[in-house]
Amino acid sequence: MLIDPRQATLLVIDIQEKLIGAVSDPTGTLSRARWLLAACTDLKLPIVISEQYPKGLGPTVEALKAAAPLANVVEKLHFSCVAGNCLPGAMLAREQVVVCGMETHVCVLQTVLDLLELGKQVFVVEDACDSRTTASKAAGIARMRDAGAQIVSREMVLFELMGSARHPQFRHISKTYLVGEQP
């Protein structure tokens, strides 16, 4: 199954100011998530950003919000966005959810498992997820894969959203996100 831009939403989970420094690759994770957010914004994919207890953990990293100024930002206390009942109805009405964020083995995992339970097709962007340890990230990715989530890369997301070199944004996406050194 491919990602369908008419049925997909991007969900960015808990990449927050006070959490980012605790993950195994904070600079890389932030750069790759920003790249994905900006590209999905250019492709006009609906975007939801979750924040785990922002009063204590701070807001989403500003560079991410700047990359997706129209994103719907939601707050939660549950680790799972689904259990936290914070996801917008418009997002839940779509069949597919592309997910990235942190921590892979906690909030991302629990949200993905709950989305799968709702019958959603879930695509986890492995290179835009992180945890405090690489072992925890690997365990989270393995469990999501075993549960039925599709594990994808950022480039897979872009090419599936465009579908063809005839896509009106193909030239812009290629020049902006696919040339030179990538995060």
| Residue 38, token pair as written in the block | 């900006």
* Catalytic site residue from 40, 100, 107, 129: 107
Provide the terminal-to-terminal Cα distance of the chain, rounded to the nearest Å: 27
Q: Which amino acid is at 25?
A: D
Q: Which of 14, 114, 127, 130 is an active site residue?
A: 14
Q: Which of 48, 145, 39 is nearest to 94 (CA)?
A: 48
From 175, 105, 116, 174, select the one nearest 142 (Cα to Cα): 105
Active site residue 100: no
- Is 14 a known active-site residue? yes
Q: Which amino acid, 121? A: Q
Active-site residue, selected from the candidate residues 76, 120, 129, 137: 76
Helices (H), 43-164: 54-57, 62-67, 89-92, 109-117, 134-147, 154-162
Q: Which residues are catalytic?
A: 14, 76, 107
